[in-house]
């Protein structure tokens, strides 16, 4: 069954502890944590201190998506904060193989994210070091954007590319019950959703609809 990773960027940060506990109770499979530095993307979110503050309250894996200009210097910060998966952008890494090696050395799962204009071919020689591939179905930086349907073909190509590897395909951006079905059909294993999970406050109902 497809996994649901609510993006805490859409949570009420005034009561973040209660929000993540409610997501776990409602059946979330992992928590997606969008870290933005205001340089790689035109938005600024939160740092490791925020994640460390909520780590004791849930058992869910922290799926940390580093939308940052220099991810290498931040890997240990987020490992110490309780990350379980660290995902970096292929476009932001000068030496992607080295960055993935560093994530693995921290004892974490390694993910690589691809922007809409980036080909999956950049992953060809590092597949053996990847646990998760995050396909951006919007341009990174803000929530609430419209789904870019051209990425469905990329998901299908990646599904074919990773045959024989234990790699999950994650999709992030514009996910709702309709686009979720399209992504699952194309080969997605994990759906990241913010607005679609938090809208109306019934988290379980919303996640069940995505599944």
In degrees to the nearest 10, what's the CA dihedral of 90, 45, 105, 52? -160
Active site residue 84: no
Of the candidates 29, 34, 37, 61, the residue annotated as catalytic is: 34
For CA atoms 114, 67, 39, 70, give the dihedral sign: negative
Residues in a beta bridge with 3: 190
Examine the residue annotation and report whether 166 is marked as an active-site residue of this protein.
no
The residue to which tokens 């870019």 are assigned: 148
Which of 29, 37, 61, 172 is catalytic? The answer is 172
CA distance 173 to 95: 26
The CA–CA distances, whole Å, from 96 to 93, 100, 102, 192 equal 5, 6, 10, 23
Read off the DSSP letter of residue 191: E
Residues catalogued as catalytic: 34, 172
């Amino acid at each position: 069954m497809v996994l649901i990773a609510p993006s805490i960027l859409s949570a009420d940060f005034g009561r973040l502890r209660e929000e993540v506990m409610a997501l776990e109770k409602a059946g979330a499979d992992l928590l997606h944590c969008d870290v933005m530095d205001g340089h790689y993307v035109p938005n600024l979110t939160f740092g490791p201190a925020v994640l460390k503050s909520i780590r004791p309250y849930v058992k869910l894996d922290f799926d940390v998506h580093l939308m940052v200009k220099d991810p290498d210097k931040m890997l240990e910060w987020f490992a110490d904060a309780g990350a379980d998966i660290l995902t970096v952008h292929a476009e932001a890494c000068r030496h992607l193989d080295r960055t993935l090696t560093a994530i693995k050395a921290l004892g974490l799962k390694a993910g690589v994210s691809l922007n809409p204009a980036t080909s999956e071919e950049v992953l060809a020689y590092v597949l053996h070091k990847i646990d998760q591939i995050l396909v951006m179905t919007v341009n990174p930086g803000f929530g609430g954007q419209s789904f870019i349907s051209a990425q469905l073909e990329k998901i299908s190509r990646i599904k074919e590319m990773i045959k024989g590897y234990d790699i999950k395909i994650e999709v992030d951006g514009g996910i709702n019950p309709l686009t979720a079905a399209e992504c699952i059909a194309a080969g997605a294993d994990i759906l990241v959703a913010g607005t679609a999970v938090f809208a109306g406050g019934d988290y379980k109902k919303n996640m069940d609809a995505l599944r």
